Amino acid sequence: MARKPIDESGTGAGREPAPVLDLEARLTEDHHQSLVLWLRMLSCTVRIETEIRSRLRADFDITLPRFDLMAQLERHPEGLRMGELSQRMMVTGGNVTGITDQLEEEKLVVREPSPEDRRAFVVKLTPSGRKAFAKMAAVHEQWIVELFSTLPAASKDTLIELLSQLKQGLTDRSPAERK
């Protein structure tokens, strides 16, 4: 007996679903609900991130990782050490160094010796970096609002609450439970 594919279009009954070639393409009704949910969340995240990457490149000639690094620095005007940036962005130190080098070359960030540790550097936005980021962040927020505009406010509130519960549950798990 053939497995029935899951309707991932969200179009509902009576409408022809658009062809979807993404992470959910191989799911069937036999797959566990948690796997379906995981792949649906991941699929949405990938689609949104792909769109944001494309728009950042087209409108500002910047990559998403560079935007993300600047966003971290905007929240910390005192600057952040390279290791802190790496942890916050969940990337390797080498990635942060490469991104910082590019932004420093464009005079959007500056590296200064750390006041606490002479061996370390603190990265800060320059005034022109702060101005450039403010412009990008305002447009970025508009894009996010647009991309989520198909959901009513109540649905967004529900999703926020449910994802908060999931995040807390994942955070609360003991190391033994994580294996």
Ranked by mean pLDDT, which of 9-18, 102-111, 170-179 comes out on top? 102-111
Cβ neighbours of residue 30 closer than 8 Å, sequence gap 6 or more: 3
Residues of the chain with CATH 1.10.10.10: 63-144
- DSSP, collapsed to helix, strand or coil, labels residue 48 as helix
The pLDDT tens digits of the residues spanning 17-30 come to 455 456 676 767 77
pLDDT of residue 6: 46
Q: Chain-wide mean pLDDT for the chain?
A: 86
Q: Is 103 exposed, middle or buried (0-12, 13-18, 19+ CB in 10 A)?
A: buried
Check whether 119 has a pLDDT greater than 50. Answer: yes
What is the fold of 63-144? Arc Repressor Mutant, subunit A (1.10.10)
Question: Regarding predicted confidence, which is higher, 143 or 21?
Answer: 143
Using a pLDDT cut of 90, give the percent of the chain over it. Answer: 63
Name the band, by pLDDT with cuts 50, 70 and 90, for residue 115: confident
- DSSP, collapsed to helix, strand or coil, labels residue 150 as coil
Eight-state DSSP code of residue 28: B
Distance (Å, rounded) from C-alpha 28 to C-alpha 62? Answer: 38
